Amino acid sequence: MGEAHAVRCGRKFLTLDRNGPWQFVHTGTRNWHTDTDRAMFPLRGLVPIERDGLLGCGKNIGVSSVVQSALRLHGQMMLVGQASATVAWLCLRDGVEPRTVAVDSKRVREIQRTLAHGVGGPGVLIWPYHDVPPEHPAFEAASLLTAAGIWKPDPESVLFRPDRSVTNNEWQAILQRVPVSNRQELAKELPVSRAAAVRALATVIRFENLSLPEAPRPNDDRKP
């Protein structure tokens, strides 16, 4: 356990003695970029239960200690700050409290789209795919449609695999999750790849109209 912690903290011990001298190692996932260890939690985790006019940021967010242990790195905290600032911007623009935004599907979708699209810079990850960088043509569509439940990710992988082909059966299954009014147009042609598929979906679906999944209640026995 101690050795694993040392590696995660960017330390390289100079001897086999884990209590001995060590040197700092600037590893690929320990830096100030926004690609530091993907993780996610709901927007309502930024909103205090009682106090109005306040948003969580950094490590002051509404998550369990288990989740917090996976959200403690610099890159993740930077993304939390970007999300919190975007919520604050929308609250000021619309004259509403953060808790109102957290349960308003259209406003949540607007925040997600704003973050994924980027304003004066690269977009922000909404879904933790490792192989779709912000400059990829399918970045925004893949992230938003997965977050909305239209595109189902592989539960055992953090890869989107944008160049992989889409079978007819896969495409038909995806279309069943698309609003009925959009299915006929999308069914006309089978996309050549996953990247092409999400881009085709994004051109037809009105993302802001997609509902949010129901938030579990504190005493709800259902599994998340």
Does residue 32 surpass a pLDDT of 50?
A: no
**Eight-class DSSP state of 209:** G
* 16/110: higher pLDDT: 110
Domain membership of residue 221 (yes or no) is: no
| Residue 23 placed within a domain | yes
Average the pLDDT over 8-33 and give the result.
60
Residue 26 scores a pLDDT above 90: no
Integer Cα distance of 40 and 112 in angstroms: 12
- The arithmetic mean of pLDDT across residues 126-151, rounded, is 92
Establish if 123 belongs to a structural domain: no
Q: Which residue has the higher pLDDT, 126 or 151?
A: 151
What does the block give as tokens for 35?
Answer: 């690609």
Domain membership of residue 22 (yes or no) is: yes
**Most confident range, picked from 10-24, 40-54, 137-151, 202-216:** 137-151
Among 195, 199, 208, 123, residue whose Cα is nearest residue 159 = 195
Contact 215, 104 (CB under 8 A): no
Is residue 39 scored above 90 in pLDDT? no
Q: Say which residue, 106 or 28, is predicted with more confidence.
A: 106
Per-residue model confidence (pLDDT) at position 87: 95
- Provide the pLDDT for residue 20: 73
Assigned domain for 174 exists? yes
Task: Note whether 90 and 107 are within 8 A (CB).
Answer: yes
Count: domains in the chain: 2
Residues contacting 50, CB < 8 A, separation 6+? none
* Nearby residues of 148 by Cβ (< 8 Å), 6 or more positions away: 109, 207, 210
Residue 110 forms part of a structural domain:
no
> Would the pTM of this model clear 0.85, i.e. be above it?
no
Whether residue 51 lies inside any domain: the answer is no
Q: Please report the pLDDT score of residue 215 as a whole number.
A: 54
Domain around 133: 128-212
Would you say residue 77 lies in a domain? no
pLDDT computed for residue 22 by the predictor: 66
